Structure 1
Amino acid sequence: MAMNRLRVGLILWPAALLLAAPQPSQRSRMDLSGPWLFFPDYPGRGEANGWHKPDANPAGWDTVEVPHIWNLEPRYEHTGAAWYRRGFRAPALKPGERARLLFGAVFYKSKVWLNGTLLGEHEGGYTAFEFDATRAIQPGGENVLVVMADNSWNTETIPGSRVGGSPRDLTYPWWNWGGIKKPVYLEITPEIYIENQKIVATPDLAAGAADVKVRVWVRNAGPVAKSRRVRVRLRRPGAWNEAGRAEAAIRVGPGSQAMAEVAIRLDPAHVALWDIDRPNLYESLAELDEEGGADSNLARFGIRKIEIRDAKLLLNGEPVSFGGANRSADHPKYGSMENAEVVGQDMAMMKEANMGMARILHYPCSQTLLDWADEHGFLIIAEAGNWGLPPEQLDSEAIRGKWKQQAREMIEQSWNHPAIIAWSAGNEYQSDTPAGVRWTRDMTGFMRGLDDSRLMTFISLGGKAFSKVKPEENSYHYVDILCPNIYGNGGLAREIEALHAIWPDKPVFVSEFGWRADAAPSERWRSEQFAEAMRILRKYPFVIGASVWSWNDYKSRHLGTNPDGYRHWGLVTADRAPRGAYWTL
């Protein structure tokens, strides 16, 4: 995306600045969650039948509560398109104001109409997206919003099928929970408004100070270039005293975006580091001046330093290693909506079991989970949805383009979370092939271009291709952490020792290991296997952690799924009842 960039120099401010009240923002937000009309489009004829039109006959439609996942209900066990519609009365707009529709997440594909006008389409079921609705909205009047969601998959969706003729290739191992699964909002902004912030806070561990760089992206939706001033103020949440501030001038062209960058040095009196046991957080309040409409944006961040040294992971200069568990966003009552109560229960149980780090999902984490991890101290390796892709798909321009879009959305929506320490380029794809090496090289490079403040990795199926050590032959050359999935204790020590022999300067994080509960002779036997695995892993100082597969049982149609529809790998059941192995760990 083309943009202008303006930097200002380092600014030091007195130790205690009284935080003035933020400028009054012209933003307002209407929550469009709640009752919507809904019906599945079994034959795929909804658009041809005019269901997107505002005067479509609503007779026969059901009423559901959004956020909503339709295939939680037995009557809607449907893969394909389904339709949502609701009416609302929009507020009046002042001259120059913009109306934007914000969607927290819709799985998987979506098309959105307002008053019969197609606003746009989105693909990807785990990240937020938005459309400018100004051209279609009826300010101060009645409006009809229609959303078509489609939870089907094919060989070009992410997640989706793999090319190949075996039954295992035809599905992916988690459930296609379809629907508008996060809240929907109508937001009114001034013509010039703040789109996003990126905060990189690096502590000076020797001096006790910290350097904070803040980038602020500003959008001008109007027809004339405008000049504004951007002010950034840092503080602890709820505090009245500023930790620091800086300002920059910015000029934004018509219908375009520009970025201002400021740098602030915090003195030791205002530095409280974020770590596992003391997850201290800060807020960055970015404001635009009032000329032509004031706007503000509040983002949360933490001050912490993540680095690799001598095959160890250092958090704020201290080596750390943690166990964890891969958690599927799956619940019998809530599907993948990531209900805050369920997320909090799961993560609290992990912390109570002394878990502290995980590659937690095969797809972007919800903001609910990331907020919890920030607030309570938990390290996350975040991943976009490349699961098991073979060479043909790894080289596919369509797949690459969609993956980059989803990875970009994940990173730009999550880059201020101190809990995230690394980005992953995917899980169990054929990384030991030329196409796999190209993917790892290109996608880690792509992610570094978006955020070079974090480590890079990918998840391999076992310690593959130890004989291939040239950069053009092995994906491990392009990452900071070696993350193999290793099942069974028989080869555990051998595989991690082989990895370390070739890459002695890189730490190893065993991203998956485990035993399926319904395939084990007994839960006691399973618990003993976990205990033995931990005994093996603790011998190696270069092993920085391991993540159990999996935290919870999860719904699936993948080959080998239990007849009850669940894969019983969990330390806890789908209803969150702990198994014996949980207490062992």
Structure 2
Amino acid sequence: MMKRILSLLMLVGSLNVFAQWQPAGDKIKTSWADKIDVNNVLPEYPRPLMERSGWLNLNGLWEYAITAAGQAQPGEFDGDILVPFAVESSLSGVQKRVGAEKELWYKRTFTVPSAWKGKKVLLHFGAVDWKADVWVNDIKVGNHEGGYDAFSFDVTPFLAKSGEQSLVVKVWDPSDKGYQPRGKQIGNPHGIWYTPVTGIWQTVWLEPVAEKHITSVVAVPDIDNNSLKVDAGICGASYGDIYEVVLKDAGNVVSRGKAVAGQSVDLAVAGAKLWSPESPFLYDLEVKLISNGKAVDEVKSYTAMRKVSSKRDENGIVRLQLNNKDYFQFGPLDQGWWPDGLYTAPTDEALKYDIVKTKDFGFNMIRKHVKVEPARWYTHCDQLGILVWQDMPNGGESPRWQNRQYFDGTELKRSPESEANYRAEWKEIMDEHMSNPSVVCWVPFNEAWGQFKTEEIVEWTKAHDPSRLVNPASGGNHYRVGDMLDLHNYPGPEMYLYDGSRATVLGEYGGIGLALEGHLWMTDKNWGYVQFKNSKEVTDKYVEFAEQLIKMARSGFSAAVYTQTTDVEGEVNGLMTYDRKVIKLEEDRLRAINQKVCNVLED
């Protein structure tokens, strides 16, 4: 009887917590919004490339307050906010603007599991937009600038020996009034510019680690030499400490090696199974830190054997290659916005859905446009098999835009603070995704937005990661650096420039609009490069453009990007509606023509 009473009390308590949160506003929502459990928000392990068994998810209801910038921590908070959804989003339960003149405060408590006794405790943030200050038990433990990269703090010295611990986070985000990378966010959303995203927008979590522990795992394949280079970052390593790397295929050991901290492990991979969108094979990777003959830390990861490069074909056209074979890369511009969560997908199933549909549509590539996704998105791409071009989120001002000729003007001059901020965050973005086989191309600039020191930045990017292609400025101001000349043209494909020494690609085209009542972010002011009235008309035009693209691919284009995966706010030019409830084109015809485009070099 007592058990039944306790269960009933727990159920009532859970219902009371749920009653405190509801999606805010009356905008359209995805079907996944109804599946959110405030007691178990985005429960999946947030960092699949370096997984440990123990962790504690801090997502859920926190207290929040919005104050004037520069004020001390508020004595009282305004209410509850659902983390990790940005305060402007419906799913936060708040849906309020902040802006440069105010700051956003978060507060919650947590209890460290007793099983973690004797361990260091790391506090992880997947991403916070933009500047975050963090306190644990009223002690400021650190700060971070950057809206798209993960960061963490060792909070062990600041934890009470037992009981509840307090966590406070303050966020300031100037959005488009600042120089920082911000993507499509703007204070006055309109046209191609969207709602600001302020605060915590990826998972917050705690992790126990040993005094000496692994901090990073970077795996770089070399299929030409049947080898894999693995570097593990180590915290607290002493003389004589080593780490061991084991590569496995379905539980069977393929290769293993050891090295001291600071040295790489080079593994032989005989008869390697190559990764591609058609066959996305992943090896398991285990990394173990050994000190005084004892394993003190171990993480699980994965990797793939694949190569991206470019090469001139028999017709003199520079082609992109995958695993030393010509490979036409074709996919949608994917902005990763959600009507209910803005930057944050409601669930992991939702996060994966767009990738699944992109594959269903017959594409082999995604251009992730001026946004960086949570780590799990890239793992889904690795597992499902899709190539990714990763943009650096734009920010700052723009110089004169000369996209139809090679640039002959004066480049933008950033302030020292702005330049340092750009370099630091771009490096972090690259480092975090260095081991994702799906990521095949870095895109430092888009359409001249914030474009500066192009030749230097491209060379620096290429030097930092020689294993990938670099698209210098997608549709931006063109220089003869990097691996591609990238053209943008709307609505139809056009080749108005050509580079005989690099791959020529069509980084954006299309934008065919179709506004569907009941699935619109706004009832008026909907926008597309060209608009039609029904699915057949849109599909007819899409196929017409694709047939034109096929001819241009045979004569010079080596990749193409169609705008875009979904509608986004006032843009109605998606293959799907913003709420993902309707596929707007005739899917069978879409898939058939897309596969024809992807296979154009095999004809």
Relative to the length of structure 2, the TM-score reads: 0.76
Q: What secondary structure, in the 3-state scheme, does the structure 1 residue paired with 2:546 have?
A: helix
How far residue 203 of structure 1 moved from its aligned partner, in angstroms, is 1.4
Asked if the contact 1:362/1:387 (under 8 Å) is kept, the reply is: no
Q: Hey, what does 2:246 align to over in structure 1? A: 233
Read off the aligned partner of 2:229 and give its amino acid letter. Answer: K
Give 2:500's match in structure 1, choosing from 499, 504, 507.
Answer: 504
Find the partner of 1:306 among 297, 308, 324.
308
Q: Deviations over 1:241-271 (max 9, x none)?
A: 2110001133xxxxxxxx2201111222xx2
2:212 to 192, 208, 215: 192
**Which AA in structure 2 matches 1:150?**
W
Q: 1:71 to 1:554 in 2, by over 3 A?
A: same
Q: Which one of 243, 248, 260 corresponds to residue 254 of structure 2?
A: 243
Summarize the Cα distance change of 1:532–1:194 in structure 2 as closer, same or farther, 3 Å threshold: same
Amino acid at match of 1:157: Q
Match of 1:152 in 2: 174
1:572/1:582 contact within 8 Å kept: no
Can you list the C-alpha shifts for 1:66-115, whole angstroms capped at 9, x where unaligned? 22222123853212322211111224698984322101112222111111
2:106 aligns to what SS in structure 1? Answer: strand
CA separation in 1, counterparts of 2:397 and 2:248? 44
Secondary structure of the corresponding residue to residue 580 of structure 1 = coil
Alpha-carbon spacing, 1:240–1:578, altered in 2? closer, same or farther (3 Å): closer
- Corresponding position of 1:9: none
Matched, 1:384 2:392: yes
Deviations 1:505-539 (A, max 9, x none): 32222111123514535245544443232222212
Q: Which moved more, 1:413-422 or 1:73-82?
A: 73-82
CA drift of 1:127 comes to 2.1
Q: Corresponding residue for 1:470?
A: none
Q: Which deviations, in whole Å up to 9, do the C-alpha atoms of 1:404-445 show, x marking residues without a partner? A: 1211221111111111111111111169xxxx5x62222222
1:177 aligns with: 197
Distance 1:551 1:185 in 2: 30
Q: Does 1:543 align with 2:557?
A: yes
Deviation at 1:383, TM superposition (A): 1.6
Q: What does residue 14 of structure 1 align with?
A: none
Q: What corresponds to 2:403 in structure 1?
A: none
Letter in 2 for 1:72: S
Could you say what secondary structure the match of 1:280 adopts? coil
Counterparts of 2:58 and 2:331 in 1: how far apart (Å)? 37
Verify: 1:216 aligned to 2:232, yes or no.
yes
Give distance in 2, aligned partners of 1:249 and 1:162.
45
Identity within the alignment, %: 23
Are the structure 2 counterparts of residues 132 and 394 from structure 1 closer, same or farther at C-alpha, using a change threshold of 3 Å? Answer: farther
Which residue in 2 is equivalent to 1:128? 150
CA distance in 2, matches of 1:96, 1:446: 42
Give 1:332's aligned amino acid.
P
Residues 26/487 of structure 1: CA separation in 2 closer, same or farther (3 Å cut): closer
Q: Which whole-Å CA distance do the structure 1 matches of 2:151 and 2:192 have between them?
A: 24
Distance in 1 separating the partners of 2:188 and 2:342: 23
Partner Cα distance (2:348, 2:137) in 1: 33
Distance across 1 between alignment mates of 2:512 and 2:211: 55
SS for the counterpart of 2:158 is coil
Cα displacement (A) at 1:342: 1.8
Q: Which ranges in structure 1 are unaligned for 5 or more consecutive residues?
A: 1-24, 251-258, 465-473, 556-565
Partner of 1:120, secondary structure, is: strand
The SS at the match of 1:215 is strand
Q: Secondary structure at the residue paired with 2:429?
A: helix
Match status 1:408 vs 2:422: no
Written as runs of structure 1 = structure 2, the 5 A alignment for 1:285-364 is: 285-291=286-292, 294-310=296-312, 311-338=318-345, 339-364=347-372
Corresponding residue to 2:532 among 522, 527, 532: 522
1:568 maps to which of 544, 567, 572: 572
Alpha-carbon distance change, 193 to 172 in structure 1, aligned in 2, over 3 angstroms: farther
Aligned partner letter, 1:537? L
CA contact (8 A) 2:475 2:508 kept: no
Matching residue's letter, 1:448: K
Paired with 1:129 and 1:195, the residues of 2 have a C-alpha distance of 12
C-alpha distance in 2 between matches for 1:488 and 1:308: 28
State how many pairs are aligned.
Answer: 497
Contact 1:115-1:137 within 8 A present in 2 as well: yes
SS of the residue 1:68 aligns to: coil
Structure 1's 551 and 439: CA in aligned 2 closer, same or farther, altered over 3 A?
same
Match of 1:44 in 2: 69
Shift of 1:396: 2.6
CA distance in 1, matches of 2:239, 2:228: 27
Which residue matches 1:117?
A: 139
Q: How far is the alpha carbon of 1:213 from its aligned partner?
A: 0.7
1:68 is aligned, of 71, 78, 85, to: 85
Q: 1:107/1:583 Cα in 2 relative to 1: closer, same or farther (>3 Å)?
A: farther
Within the candidate set 411, 417, 428, 1:398 is matched to 417
The one-character-per-residue Cα deviations of 1:263-320 (angstroms, maximum 9, x if unpaired) are 111222xx21101111000122111114487012222211012110111111112211
- Does the CA contact (< 8 Å) of 2:185 and 2:193 recur in 1? no
The equivalent residue for 1:533 is: 545
**Structure 2 residue ranges without an equivalent (≥5):** 1-50, 313-317, 400-410, 514-526, 591-603
Shift of 1:156: 1.5
Q: Which residue of 1 aligns with 2:473?
A: 459
Residue 226 of structure 2 aligns to a residue whose secondary structure is strand
- Matches of 1:331 and 1:26 in 2, distance apart? 30
Alpha-carbon separation, structure 1, partners of 2:140 and 2:156: 12
Please give the alpha-carbon distance, in whole angstroms, between the structure 1 residues aligned to 2:268 and 2:455: 34
Aligned partners of 1:365 and 1:382 also within 8 Å:
no
- Residue in 1 that maps onto 2:43: none
Q: CA deviation at 1:226?
A: 4.2
The answer to whether structure 1 residue 369 and structure 2 residue 377 are counterparts is: yes
Identify the residue that residue 482 of structure 1 maps to in structure 2: 485
What's 2:438 paired with?
419
Q: Distance in 2 between matches of 1:553 and 1:527?
A: 16
**Structure 1 residue 168 displacement after superposition:** 9.5
Contact 1:358 1:511 in 2 (8 A): no
Distance 1:139 1:300, change over 3 A: farther
Indicate the SS of the match to 1:569.
Answer: coil
Q: Which amino acid aligns with 1:306?
A: V
- Helix, strand or coil: the match of 1:574? coil
1-side partners of 2:56 and 2:311: how far apart? 48
Q: Give 1 or 2: higher strand fraction.
A: 1
Distance 2:69 2:351 in 1: 34
1:535-555 deviation per Cα after TM superposition (whole angstroms, max 9, x unaligned): 222123332221111211113
Supply the AA of the counterpart residue of 2:64.
Answer: F
Kindly provide the amino acid, as one letter, of the partner of residue 446 in structure 1: W
- Between the aligned partners of 2:116 and 2:375, the Cα distance in structure 1 is 32
Of residues 431, 439, 462 in structure 2, which corresponds to 1:448? 462
2:444 partner SS: strand
Q: CA, structure 1 residues 485+494, in 2 after alignment: closer, same or farther (shift >3 Å)?
A: closer
Shift of 1:447: 2.1
Q: CA RMSD in A?
A: 3.0
Amino acid at match of 1:284: L
The alpha-carbon deviation at position 494 of structure 1 amounts to: 4.3
Q: 1:141: how far off?
A: 3.4
Change (3 A) 1:92 1:290: farther
Q: Does residue 264 in structure 1 map to residue 267 in structure 2? A: yes
Query: 2-side partners of 1:26 and 1:350: how far apart?
Result: 31
C-alpha contact 2:503 2:557 (8 A) present in aligned 1: yes
